[in-house]
């Protein structure tokens, strides 16, 4: 039955336990913005802030949102946080580095860049400086020596060429270049011209038989015309072979060859005359030089003989010295003039003796000086022995004789005794 008491309100169902809040993920760029403050704290020596434990009792929710049983909770080994390593290298992603790490990497790169720039400057300076070349002096000396030899060689070639022009002009290079070469070129040009034209056909006026068949000209045709010394005969031969229209071309080349030959003959005659004069001048110059040279040598011989007269002047009291003096002078003069009247064997022996005496003269002079000095020493010792008085022969030496009295002293002494 109904009751007048108000109905008792039912207690609301117990609210379910609040689910633990999931850890808040920092927005992008958080570490970049605040990492510097964290780094400052650590660099000052203050400990790093403790990691905030996850809310709840430490249990982990499963995929369905429910807590997993504790016995099923995987145990994770506690690992100590490792200090962040700054990547060493250029292949890095700056967006993945903290500000402090990026700053350290930046300063490291700046220091490396500074070192590289300094090294590059040193290398550039070193590269701009002349390189050391220890062998440079030796190389330059070798080059200078080679250039000197080349210059001397060219000078000798020029000298030989000049001499050849005046002694055998047709063998000189000047003759070959200026006369033989143009002559050969003119002859070859004439042969080519004849080879480019045709020999005309000629028939007998009596029976009309072919006396000369038409054909292409050859070098032998030009040689045949050139072998004819007489100009008229050569012109007739050219007219016979090539006709009135083409013969002048062939004769023109013949004239060119003859003109080159004429120039060569004139040059040969000119250099024969010049060569005779050149040979005469050279002979006179050689004689003059030889005489001047011989006069100078004679003056040196005379000066040496006067300076060392005590050595090179024979003793007039000794005939043997005078004989050897004359023999040596005549012998050397004869050998210097080429050993006139001597056989080859005598000349060889004479030159050998003359050279041997000349090569050993200084040593013989030195020995002579030593002997002369020794003779003087021995003569001095001999003079001492000659001036001495022998002893009494008793081994006691010799008594010194009393000094002899003068006549005045003797008279004075006699008067005193009376």
Q: pLDDT for 368-383, tens place per residue?
A: 889 989 999 999 988 8
Q: Is the pTM of this model over 0.75?
A: no
pLDDT tens digits for the chain (418 residues)? 444 444 433 444 444 444 444 444 555 544 554 444 444 444 444 445 555 555 555 566 676 766 666 554 555 555 555 555 545 555 666 666 677 777 777 778 888 888 988 888 888 887 777 666 777 778 888 888 889 999 998 888 888 888 888 888 888 899 999 999 999 999 999 999 999 999 999 988 888 888 889 999 999 999 999 999 999 999 999 999 999 999 999 999 999 999 999 999 999 999 888 888 888 888 888 888 888 888 898 899 889 888 888 888 888 899 998 999 999 989 998 998 888 889 999 999 999 999 999 999 899 889 988 998 999 999 998 888 888 766 666 666 555 555 666 667 777 777 666 5
Cα angle 25, 29, 31 (rounded to 5 degrees) comes to 75
DSSP-derived secondary structure letter, 172: S
DSSP-derived secondary structure letter, 67: B
Query: How far apart are the C-alpha atoms of 356 and 339, rounded to whole Å?
Result: 17
Query: How far apart are the C-alpha atoms of 327 and 321, rounded to whole Å?
Result: 10
168: helix, strand or coil: coil
Instruction: Give me the long-range contacts of 197-201 (CB less than 8 A, separation at least 24).
Output: 197/242, 197/246, 197/249, 197/250, 198/242, 199/241, 199/242, 200/241, 200/242, 200/243, 200/246
- Contact between 229 and 241 (Cβ < 8 Å): no
Query: How far apart are the C-alpha atoms of 220 and 199, rounded to whole Å?
Result: 12
């Amino acid at each position: 039955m109904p009751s007048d008491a108000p109905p008792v309100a039912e207690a609301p169902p117990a609210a379910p336990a609040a689910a633990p809040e999931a850890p808040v993920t920092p927005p992008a760029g958080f570490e970049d913005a605040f990492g510097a403050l964290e780094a400052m704290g650590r660099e000052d020596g203050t400990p790093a802030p403790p990691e905030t434990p996850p809310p709840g009792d430490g249990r982990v929710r499963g995929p369905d949102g429910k807590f997993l049983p504790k016995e099923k909770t995987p145990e994770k080994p506690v690992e100590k946080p490792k200090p962040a390593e700054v990547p060493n290298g250029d292949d890095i992603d700056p967006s993945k580095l903290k500000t402090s790490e990026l700053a350290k990497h930046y300063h490291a790169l700046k220091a490396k860049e500074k070192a590289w720039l300094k090294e590059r400057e040193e290398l550039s300076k070193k590269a701009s400086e002349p390189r050391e070349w220890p062998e440079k002096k030796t190389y330059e000396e070798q080059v200078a020596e080679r250039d000197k030899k080349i210059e001397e060689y060219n000078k000798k070639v020029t000298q030989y060429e000049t001499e050849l022009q005046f002694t055998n002009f047709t063998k000189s290079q000047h003759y070959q270049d200026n006369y033989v070469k143009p002559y050969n070129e003119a002859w070859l040009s004439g042969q080519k011209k004849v080879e480019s034209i045709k020999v005309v056909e000629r028939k007998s006026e009596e029976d009309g038989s072919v006396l000369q068949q038409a054909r292409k000209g050859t070098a032998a045709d030009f040689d045949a015309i050139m072998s004819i010394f007489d100009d008229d005969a050569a012109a007739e031969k050219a007219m016979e072979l090539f006709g009135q229209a083409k013969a002048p071309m062939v004769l023109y080349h013949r004239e060119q060859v003859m003109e080159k030959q004429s120039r060569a003959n004139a040059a040969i005659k000119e250099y024969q005359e010049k060569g005779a004069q050149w040979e005469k001048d050279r002979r006179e110059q050689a004689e003059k030089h030889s005489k001047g040279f011989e006069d100078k040598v004679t003056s040196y011989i005379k000066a040496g003989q006067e300076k060392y007269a005590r050595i090179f002047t024979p003793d007039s009291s000794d005939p043997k010295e005078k004989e050897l003096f004359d023999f040596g002078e005549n012998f050397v003069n004869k050998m210097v003039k080429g050993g006139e009247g001597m056989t080859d064997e005598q000349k060889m022996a004479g030159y050998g003796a003359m050279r041997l005496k000349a090569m050993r003269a200084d040593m013989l002079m030195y020995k002579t000086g030593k002997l002369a000095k020794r003779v003087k020493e021995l003569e001095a010792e001999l003079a001492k022995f000659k001036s001495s008085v022998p002893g009494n022969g008793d081994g006691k030496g010799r008594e010194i004789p009393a000094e002899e009295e003068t006549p005045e002293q003797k008279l004075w002494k006699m008067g005193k005794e009376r």
